[in-house]
Structure 1
């Protein structure tokens, strides 16, 4: 594994999880391990090996993955032909070997799968993934922001994190678990952060981000080329694809301080906000109807359409379902408010400071 690949993974794990480098080689099976290599010849061979056998397909990180299970030697082989990536996973050793043709593709895949292995380990320890943004106050109390796509979760969390004594814990997903004292502990999901052009402009950071891009800074490679072109040209209006989905600027976690944000590494859930953004509305907070936490607020191995559990990392046991129900019960008892926001960031910030 080249230094560039490990450094790429550190850009996720260091800011969110406080990860540090080590020179100690892990024993086989001792902890989950990801090995990654640049090896075009091996990619061709492994991709063809998967395609030549009976296989299945699934979406994985925005691209099609073809995979097969070998019950005889208990391994999983997979490939993403469109990305020139191949995978070989040995569950008994908890070791994933990834090969690819370009450093960027291999580094991205290795960082992503390292997170997936840690997700499985956290899941085994009772953690679950919520579709939520979050911000943490100086005393550790955390506001969870729940809602469907486009509801304003990112706008709420970023605005709050820039308002006084708050830090950003998560942009789109969090790990959550009920601790022995009955509180819900929250950890960040380390990933790139997607922020729309219009929101960057409203936050007053568009010009700085654009200047950095023009000066040669590289944003996350999953960013659509149309977004890079719009930033380069100085376009500030929201950008959408043919299906109407907003295309956003993609930041590495260690680039979020560009936006005037400090990152938090943990917190304890104290309040739930359910936002809505309406340009002509007056920013307001109101007590919410007791809707509680719904199944759709959780990401599970069966509902997550972006990180499909192709490698069978998540153990779906009855105890896991019971833990999720207990978590939903505790979160459902927290103070819950509806939040109305508009496009006036100052007015939104003034309101959120009241929290």
Structure 2
């Protein structure tokens, strides 16, 4: 999601995005800090022994975070005919580009190089969204905004690599990654203090610090080996922020006057417009994660006598994820048809 600044009501947009609501999502940071400190000092790390090394190891986490908001983004752009028509050339171009890239890259690049490339794009997407939303609030000079953004991205990538590649790194390599992350975190901390002078409001300052703490606390949990919490914090804030925009958009566009088949069906069964997109995206996530690979494997075995492993959970969902990173970079810009249905509370 690109930079989103406050704007007056556009078109039919009675429901406004609340910056206070967006800021409240960052409450996960102090809650996780309290949880970790309580576990460390009161329970001797009992929770740490229970938590997996990554949130993705919990099936419930996979069903709640990541994939649902990615599918919601895809549903939004494909079920509204005017949006798909408006962006179809870009979607086709990127689909062909991804097919060409991975068909070549899989032959010449190692799995770990591809993994690092995709992971880096993931971190960039997550943090660009949060800082993009915040930019209109703290209104930093351009150089200061991009300084904080890229320090956050650099530190975030280092933390991500340290967590998800820890079993493949040597002891020395793991230490280098941790030191690189730590150095970037110190720079981020100092620069956030420095940039305070350019923020005119207390609320803007609080939002800026919340975005910096998103990565600073992730590094802290990474260093303390609470890997689950290190990934949970940015993931939850990012996904929930995205849903705030998606649901606000759909309420403003479809409430009382459904404009696509999805919301016309929902109106017939009297399904509240607020829950249509979340309900559908979570249901699709469950079906794809739980049964997708089995269904595709059964079909390919029946028709072609061959087995295709993880065609859905890696192939299809991977494609949706990369397309999500790509399309979210422009679908919320000024001039986009999406923006007719988005406004902000001052």
Tell me which protein shows more helix as a share of its residues: 2
Tell me which protein shows more strand as a share of its residues: 1
Higher relative contact order (CA 8 A, sep 6+): 2
Specify the TM-score bucket, using the shorter chain as the normaliser. under 0.3
TM-score (norm. length: structure 1) = 0.23
TM-score (norm. length: structure 2) = 0.23
